[in-house]
Amino acid sequence: MGTPDETCWPGVSQLPDFKPSFPKWTGSSFEEMFPRLDSDGLNLLMKLMLYDPNKRISARQALHHRYFSGFQLPNFE
């Protein structure tokens, strides 16, 4: 994932705890980190791990992601 910046999370530098002096880390690809995860799993993981909360998938959306299409989810309602 690397260190967040304005390109992946507009407004991050304006957050109260953002420090420009933090080290800048280069991200690794999820494909390298999780080589056995299929394309649906990688897609879900990327959506869950987005820095920008406005673009990040919600828990409800994640449960309906195609990665879980073979699972029967319990009904909690």
Q: What is the pTM of this model?
A: 0.77
What's the alpha-carbon Rg for the chain, to the nearest Å?
A: 16
Structural domain boundaries in the chain: 29-66
How far, rounded to the nearest angstrom, does the alpha carbon of residue 51 sit from its chain's CA centroid? 6
Please list the pLDDT of the chain residue by residue as tens digits (77 residues). Answer: 888 888 888 898 898 998 888 889 898 899 999 999 999 999 999 999 999 999 999 999 999 999 998 887 777 77
- Copy the structure tokens of residue 18: 């953002």
For residues 73 and 71, give the distance between their C-alpha atoms in angstroms, rounded to a whole number: 6
DSSP 8-class letter at 67: G
Alpha-carbon distance of 48 to 41, in angstroms, equals 11
